[in-house]
Amino acid sequence: MYEKHFGLKELPFNLTPDTDFYFSYADHQEALNVLLVALRMGEGFLKITGEVGTGKTLICRKLLNVLADEGMVTAYIPNPFLTPPALRHSLAEELGVDCPRNIGGHRALQLINHRLIELKSSGHQVVLLLDEAQALPLETLEAIRLLTNLETEKSKLLQVVLFGQPELDLVLSQRSIRQLRQRITFSHTLRPMSLEGCQGYLEHRIGVAGGAPGLIGEKALQRLYRGSRGIPRLINILAHKSLMAAYGQGRERVGRLHVSRAIEDTEEAWVAPGPMLRLWRVLSGRPGSATLRGGS
């Protein structure tokens, strides 16, 4: 696409979470540190929440990599809208347990417990990570709580990390699952990035992709930050579309008008109407929406 034009080895703003592009922004690094410290201490339940696009899945995948490097055994379930039997089966598969789908819940729990004891005996901690946890049915949350009852005299056999949108807190506030809520010992809420964080994030991703500093001008950066509201996913979308717009004009750097066009073309972006945006519409001969829609 525009990689060669800007001297890039690859696209820097793909939406797929890629740990090679992980940026240790202070808030994200704090969340990761909280998780690592708590898991190393053997805490049972941990929780990370944040709005859509704030980087939860990328932190989850980064955590998976770090835990693997430390020799921990992990089970990752990215879409936990599962019944209790389906959850037990998914966990068993992740742990390498032969657990037929038609097996009873009690027997499935026995098989999982036996495997967890084996792993514990060989010196391995086991961590279950659930992404999009706000979608967990209440009965499945209760099944997870029962799984964490599995323990030796001194430690838990299974630790659980929940990643979810703010709706997860509403789910956990229900009285019927208050026992689980009381077990959450550490939690962290992700916030949107600051302007300085946004700048560092953009420069980091462009650098990892092989680009040079200053590809996005200062005023363009400020406009991109306002349009994205500091949400990493929107930063990626707007930066990608801005690069497309600059490439389409043969420009070497991204300017304010390129970002304005990207903002206008992105439904979730915050649009600040003003003379520059109106000028762009006049110059491009488009009184309405831009032609980039859907191009990301």
- Does the predicted model carry a pTM greater than 0.75? yes
- Choose the CATH number for 26-189 among 3.40.1350.10, 3.40.462.40, 3.40.50.300, 3.40.50.261: 3.40.50.300
Single-letter amino acid, residue 20? D
Contacts of 49 (CB under 8 A, 6+ apart): 56, 163, 164, 165, 166, 168, 169, 187, 188, 189, 190
What residues does CATH 1.10.8.60 cover in the chain? 195-284
Q: Which CATH architecture has domain 195-284?
A: Orthogonal Bundle (1.10)
What residues does CATH 3.40.50.300 cover in the chain? 26-189
Q: What is the DSSP string of 33-72?
A: HHHHHHHHHT-SEEEEE--TTSSHHHHHHHHHHHHHHTT-
pLDDT tens for the 296 residues of the chain, in order: 899 999 999 999 999 999 999 999 999 999 999 999 999 998 889 999 999 999 999 999 999 999 999 999 999 999 878 999 999 999 999 999 988 877 887 888 899 999 999 999 999 999 999 999 999 999 999 999 988 888 776 788 999 999 999 999 999 999 999 999 999 999 999 999 999 999 999 999 999 999 999 999 999 999 999 999 999 999 999 999 999 999 999 999 999 999 999 999 998 888 765 555 555 555 555 544 443 433 33
